[in-house]
């Protein structure tokens, strides 16, 4: 049996789930270099649609372009034809309904938990597809105990079918910091809080802007990284002078921002895991996160918590960190220690263990069928 990876994620813009898929695939490639899994899987292949323009440098996982379609059509029609009777791993929330043997990673149940964050069409499609995939897949993997409970609650996934595979953080440590934005905006040596602007209202940037209005007398700027103009959350009104919107930033620029910021703030309503706070912690940036969903599970005692619906709590946390360098140092050290537990190698190994488990089960079933036929 071959281990096949659904490579549609390489044709998509990189967000959290695509980052997970990319880093797990690269870490899996390193694991397979040891040849310790060749007795279970004949080989491993990454199957991609024709519109993928760049692929990671893989040494042990072959990359094959399959099919003539792209997007959902490729995933639902071309991909299962290429998979045949081998084991498919789909890493980005959904997979192919027609695949006979599949593991699917469902990162969260956000279409149920925060439906306001998605269009009606998107919600309908995912609410149809996720329960069907959960029933048809041999295992459903997810990234936190919180998401495990959510999938059991909303999608009817049985607990014995679920496995938890947390995310990792090495990617943010591997790219050199690019301080160009720090210099360009005069932030060197300045106190600032870093936030991420997103078109998704679940990220709750509007609460950050409201908290800024409550910071009278505090010498601290708010730097917003992300491609979306945060004025869309304020009805087109001008942002406070202390808010600096950078627009899109590269991974290298983001690392420099994490390393220079007084704190990283992430008041999201719902997260299956919450990768940005983990990235910040890995780089020694104190974090302020909402007291909801998976974030207490991921951040533990290495963060300050706030109610995402209380801008005054967010403002109070910013004041604490600005006024107390000892607290900043303590959170920075606690964050690094907490982040050490999360590695993509561990994620890939956990995934591979589940894949081997399924492959052995399928092999035993096939042997039992053949034995009964011979008898």
- In the chain, what is the greatest distance between 2 CA atoms, to the nearest angstrom? 85
pLDDT exceeds 80 at position 307: yes
pLDDT exceeds 60 at position 147: yes
pLDDT exceeds 90 at position 245: no
- 221 pairs with which residues across the strands? 192
- The average confidence (pLDDT) of the chain is 92
Where do the domains of the chain lie, and which CATH numbers do they carry?
Answer: 3-168+343-374 (3.40.50.2000), 172-339 (3.40.50.2000)
pLDDT exceeds 70 at position 236: no
- Measure Cα distances from 301 to 72, 78, 270, 295, 304 in Å: 40, 46, 19, 11, 8
- Measure Cα distances from 121 to 118, 126, 144, 238 in Å: 8, 9, 27, 32
Give Cβ neighbours of residue 208 (< 8 Å, ≥ 6 apart): 195, 222, 224, 265, 267, 311, 314
pLDDT exceeds 70 at position 229: no
Average pLDDT over residues 335-351: 97
Give the start-end residues of each E strand in the chain: 3-6, 44-48, 61-65, 87-90, 102-105, 139-142, 162-164, 192-196, 221-225, 243-247, 263-266, 287-290, 304-306
In this predicted model, what pLDDT tens digit does every residue of 311-321 receive, in sequence order?
999 999 999 99
How high is the pLDDT of residue 192? Answer: 94
pLDDT exceeds 80 at position 121: yes
Average pLDDT over residues 217-240: 72
How high is the pLDDT of residue 370? Answer: 46
What is the pTM (predicted TM-score) of this model? 0.93
**Whether 338 contacts 234, CB under 8 Å:** no
Give the start-end residues of each E strand in 207-358: 221-225, 243-247, 263-266, 287-290, 304-306
Higher-confidence position of 176 and 215: 176
How high is the pLDDT of residue 366? Answer: 58
Residue 31: pLDDT band (50, 70, 90) is very high
- Compute the C-alpha angle 329/334/337, nearest 5°: 130
Average pLDDT over residues 231-256: 79
In this predicted model, what pLDDT tens digit does every residue of 252-266 receive, in sequence order?
999 999 999 999 999
Residue 232: pLDDT band (50, 70, 90) is low
Residue with the two structure tokens 């809080």: 193
Token pair listed for 366:
């096939």
How high is the pLDDT of residue 360? Answer: 93
How high is the pLDDT of residue 37? Answer: 53
Residue 38: pLDDT band (50, 70, 90) is low
In this predicted model, what pLDDT tens digit does every residue of 89-116 receive, in sequence order?
999 999 999 999 999 999 999 999 999 9
**Whether 205 contacts 224, CB under 8 Å:** yes
CB atoms within 10 A of CB 35: 8
d(CA 19, CA 91): 10
How high is the pLDDT of residue 265? Answer: 97
Residue with the two structure tokens 């990284």: 225
How high is the pLDDT of residue 369? Answer: 46
By residue count, the chain amounts to 375
- CB half-sphere exposure, 300, CA atoms < 13 A: 14
pLDDT exceeds 80 at position 66: yes
Percent of the chain with pLDDT over 90: 79
Residue 48 φ/ψ region, left for φ over 0, alpha for ψ in the -120 to 50 degree band, beta for the rest: beta
d(CA 358, CA 366): 12
CB atoms within 10 A of CB 87: 24
CB atoms within 10 A of CB 164: 13
- Measure Cα distances from 108 to 67, 112, 148, 359 in Å: 29, 9, 8, 25
How high is the pLDDT of residue 200? Answer: 82
Average pLDDT over residues 168-176: 96
**Whether 224 contacts 203, CB under 8 Å:** no
Residue 237: pLDDT band (50, 70, 90) is low
């Amino acid at each position: 049996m071959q281990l096949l990876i659904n490579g549609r994620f390489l044709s998509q813009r990189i967000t959290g789930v695509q980052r997970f898929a990319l880093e797990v695939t690269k870490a899996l490639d390193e694991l397979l270099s040891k040849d310790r899994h060749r007795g279970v899987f004949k080989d491993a292949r990454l199957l991609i649609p024709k519109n993928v323009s760049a692929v990671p440098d893989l040494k042990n996982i072959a990359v094959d372009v399959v099919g003539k379609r792209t997007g959902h059509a490729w995933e639902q029609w071309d991909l299962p034809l290429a998979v045949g009777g081998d084991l498919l791993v789909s890493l980005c929330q959904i997979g192919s309904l027609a695949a006979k043997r599949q593991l699917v990673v469902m990162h969260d149940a956000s279409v149920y938990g925060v439906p306001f964050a998605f269009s009606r069409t998107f919600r309908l499609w995912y609410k149809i597809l996720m329960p069907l995939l959960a029933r048809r897949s041999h295992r459903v993997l997810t990234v936190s105990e919180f998401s495990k409970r959510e999938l059991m609650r909303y999608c009817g996934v049985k607990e014995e079918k679920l496995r938890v595979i947390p995310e990792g953080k090495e990617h943010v440590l591997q790219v050199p910091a690019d301080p160009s934005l720090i210099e360009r905006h005069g932030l060197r040596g300045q106190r600032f809080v870093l936030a991420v602007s997103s078109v998704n209202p679940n990220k709750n940037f509007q609460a950050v802007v409201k908290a800024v209005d409550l910071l009278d007398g505090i010498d601290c700027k708010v730097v917003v990284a992300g491609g979306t103009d945060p004025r869309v959350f304020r009805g087109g009104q001008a942002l406070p002078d202390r808010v600096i919107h950078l627009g899109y930033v590269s991974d290298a620029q983001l690392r420099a921002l994490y390393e220079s910021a007084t704190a990283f703030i992430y008041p999201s309503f719902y997260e299956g895991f919450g990768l940005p706070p983990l990235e910040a912690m890995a780089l020694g940036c104190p974090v302020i996160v909402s007291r909801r969903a998976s974030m207490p599970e991921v951040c533990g005692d290495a963060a300050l918590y706030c109610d995402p619906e209380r801008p005054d709590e967010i403002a109070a946390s910013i004041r604490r960190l600005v006024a107390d360098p000892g607290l900043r140092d303590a959170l920075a050290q606690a964050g690094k220690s907490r982040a050490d537990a999360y590695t993509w190698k561990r994620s890939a190994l956990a995934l591979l263990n589940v894949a081997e488990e399924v492959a052995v089960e399928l092999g035993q079933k096939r042997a039992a069928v053949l034995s009964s036929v011979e008898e």
